[in-house]
Amino acid sequence: MAALIIGGMASSIGAVLAVLQLAFALTWVVYVIYLPALATQAGIPKQYVPWILLMDQVIFIACDWAAGVYADRLTATVGRFGPRMAMVTLVSCGAFLAMPLLAPAGSVVIFIALTVLWSATSSALRAPPLVLMGRYATMSQRPWLAGLYLFGLGAAGAMAPYLGMQLKDVDPRIPFIVSSVVVALVTLVLAAVDTGQDPVVPTEGDAIARRVSPWAVGAFALAIVLLAVGEQIHFSVNSAPAYAKLSSALEVPRFMPVFWIGFNLLMLPATLLARRFDAIAIVAGSAIVGTAALYVTATATDMQVLLAAQFVAGGAWGVVLMSAFTAALDIGTTGREGRVTGLLFSMLAVAAFVRIAFTTTVPPAEMKAILMLPLVPVGAWILAALLLAGLAAGPGRRVRPAGR
């Protein structure tokens, strides 16, 4: 009976996490779509918009890790952090909602302050929900729940190109209000879980089995940065030109979601592997498969081959993230889940910073002249795969207990 209750609780948390991540990821999509126009209304020239996005990533790098550490601290001292997470999220939603309402006033200071406040407080919706998931899920349930959490990210990524076209003539207040309300409501539902349920208590064996050295955590973080930089350059820089080379420019938005479709369709079945085998090994294996797919996308001369390779590359990235978050929760067991998952989110922000900085400082004409640019993701993933293979083969790694 206890197992059924825990299983039902985990399923409910997983569904809420999927909806939360979808709504939360879409807030970023909406933000990026409307930021140039809102910045102009506030009196900020458009050429400074990329620098605002870079500022956002710097804030994410610091605050994502800090939010994870704070979640661990609250768990240790208070026992629950769901209500605090909800309070910070409401502040974040308020700042997000205020952007299109106050931008027309033409105050640069107010607009930047709202942007900073939203960026900082939005970190409450990255590491803390995963820490909450780790508290109420058994070891074998974590991969599936991580997959559901990331399913929302993949769905948002697939929708982004279409939203960019459909929202051009829509009053920004409408999507800002809708996304803010949805995020707030879903967060309140998730926070309620942390006020009325007892967490799963890991065994001493789980904690001992997951202890790793600081060097291993650092190597893991470096591998994630390499993988994420490769994915950022591949999807945001290389994919559109690759499609345009084999089709018309008008068709490119129709092809871009293929990567994210593969992300979701291949990630969820792979949770079965992550339930049974060491998550680091799954990340390493996925990186190897993804490296091959990225190479094919960089060299494809046929559209069907390119589409298939993009699908596999997206699936590999999905499995990488799902297994990486599972590994982060495992490494953090017990009491450091927030610290490690927060570090993982910070590394993803580092990769986004690198990509935005690259596209901001290197003109498109110069990018086309960089002949090896399509192979940069391949090189990054090869290095990451080697690092991860070393970690997976290191001492203390073992098969996950399928029944836990």
What are the DSSP calls for 103-134, one per residue? GGG--HHHHHHHHHHHHHHGGGGTHHHHHHHH
CB atoms within 10 A of CB 137: 24
- Of residues 121 and 365, more confidently modeled: 121
Residue 186: per-residue pLDDT: 87
Higher pLDDT, 189 or 241: 241
User: Can you tell me the distance from the alpha carbon of 322 to that of 325, in angstroms, rounded to the nearest whole number?
Assistant: 5
pLDDT band at residue 208, thresholds of 50, 70 and 90?
A: very low
Q: Does domain 204-404 have CATH number 3.40.50.460?
A: no
pLDDT score, position 168: 77
**CB-based contacts of 1: which residues, under 8 Å, 6+ apart?**
none
The whole-number pLDDT of residue 351 equals 97
pLDDT at 78: 61
Residue 319 or residue 139, greater confidence: 319
Cα 343–92–178 angle (5° rounding)?
120
Cβ atoms 123, 60 nearer than 8 A: yes
C-alpha–C-alpha distance, residues 298 and 327, integer Å: 30
Is the confidence at residue 396, as pLDDT, over 80?
Answer: no
**What pLDDT is stored for residue 398 in this prediction?**
47
Q: Are 281 and 324 in contact (CB under 8 A)?
A: no
| Mean pLDDT, residues 124-143 | 82
| Residue 395, pLDDT score | 60
Question: Fold match between 1-201 and 204-404?
Answer: yes
Average confidence score pLDDT of the chain: 86
The pLDDT assigned to 198 comes to 56
Integer Cα distance of 53 and 36 in angstroms? 11
Residues 357-382 have pLDDT tens digits of 999 998 877 887 787 899 999 999 99
The SS3 call for residue 66 is helix
Mean per-residue pLDDT for 165-175?
Answer: 87
Cis check: omega of the bond before 334, within 30 degrees of 0: yes
Domain ranges in the chain are 1-201, 204-404
Q: What is the pLDDT of residue 10?
A: 60
CA angle 345, 346, 351 (to 5 degrees): 95
Section 279-297 average pLDDT: 96
Q: Flag whether the pTM goes above 0.85.
A: yes
Percent over 90 (pLDDT), the chain: 57
- Fold entry, domain 1-201: Growth Hormone; Chain: A; (1.20.1250)
> Vertex 223, ends 158 and 389: CA angle to 5°?
110
